[in-house]
C-alpha cells in the first residue's frame, strides 16, 4: 500500500508547528525570566509590544483578574488611556485620570482613590488589546510545571502518531514478507 504524499506532508507540517509552538513557549519563558531576574524588567517589550496578565480587580469591569493585555510601548498617552507602569517589582494597570507635562495620575476604575503621581517617563505603555480570562492559561505556561507540561504534550502529539505509523508500516512489512513466502512456496 502506498502512502499519499499529501497525508505525509500534512503530518510533517503538524509536527513542525507543534515543535515551533513548544520552542516559542520555552523561548518566551527564558526571555522573560532573564528580563525579570537580570534586569528587573517586569514587562519586556520586544518590538515595542509586551503582554501581561491582570492580577487584581482594580480595573473592573473593563479588565478582570486573569485577562491577558497587550501593551504598546509609547510616550504618547492621553487622559482616559489605560496604561501600565512598574511600581517596584510589580506592574500596575490603571487609567490616566490626570496628566501634566511631566507627571500622570492614574486610578483603577474600581478604586475610590487615585494613585500617587508618577513621572510620565515611568509609563511603560498603553493597553491596546485585551483577551478575557486567557491570562490564567498564559501564567500556567510561565511556571516550570507549565513548561514541562507543554513539552510533554508536544512530544506526545508528535510521538504517538509516529509510533502508530511505525506499527502500521511494520504490519504492512510483515504482510509483504508473508506474501513473498507464499509466492515462493507456490513456485516449488
Question: Is 98 tagged catalytic?
Answer: no
DSSP annotation of 120: G
The CA distances from residue 55 to 24, 95, 119, 136, in Å, are 23, 15, 23, 9
**Order of strands across the sheet with 49-53?**
49-53, 68-72, 123-131, 82-87, 90-99, 103-107, 118-119
Could you count the other beta carbons within 10 Å of the beta carbon of residue 42? 20
The catalytic residue among 56, 64, 98, 130 is: 56
Active site residues per annotation: 56
Amino acid at each position: 500500500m502506498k502512502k499519499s504524499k499529501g497525508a505525509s506532508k500534512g503530518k510533517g507540517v503538524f509536527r513542525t508547528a507543534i515543535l515551533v509552538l513548544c520552542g516559542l513557549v520555552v523561548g518566551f519563558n527564558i526571555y522573560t525570566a532573564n528580563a525579570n531576574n537580570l534586569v528587573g524588567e517586569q514587562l519586556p517589550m520586544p518590538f515595542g509590544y509586551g503582554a501581561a496578565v491582570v492580577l487584581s480587580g482594580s480595573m473592573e469591569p473593563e479588565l478582570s483578574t486573569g485577562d491577558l493585555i497587550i501593551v504598546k510601548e509609547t510616550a504618547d498617552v492621553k487622559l482616559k488611556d489605560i496604561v501600565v507602569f512598574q511600581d517596584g517589582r510589580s506592574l500596575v494597570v490603571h487609567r490616566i485620570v490626570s496628566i501634566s507635562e511631566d507627571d500622570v495620575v492614574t486610578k483603577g476604575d474600581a478604586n475610590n482613590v487615585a494613585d500617587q503621581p508618577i513621572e510620565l517617563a515611568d509609563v511603560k505603555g498603553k493597553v491596546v488589546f485585551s483577551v478575557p480570562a486567557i491570562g490564567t492559561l498564559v501564567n500556567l505556561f510561565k511556571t516550570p510545571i507549565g513548561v514541562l507540561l507543554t513539552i510533554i504534550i508536544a512530544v506526545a502529539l508528535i510521538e504517538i502518531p509516529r509510533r502508530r505509523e511505525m506499527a502500521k508500516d511494520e504490519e504492512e512489512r510483515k504482510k509483504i514478507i508473508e506474501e513473498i513466502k507464499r509466492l515462493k512456496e507456490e513456485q516449488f
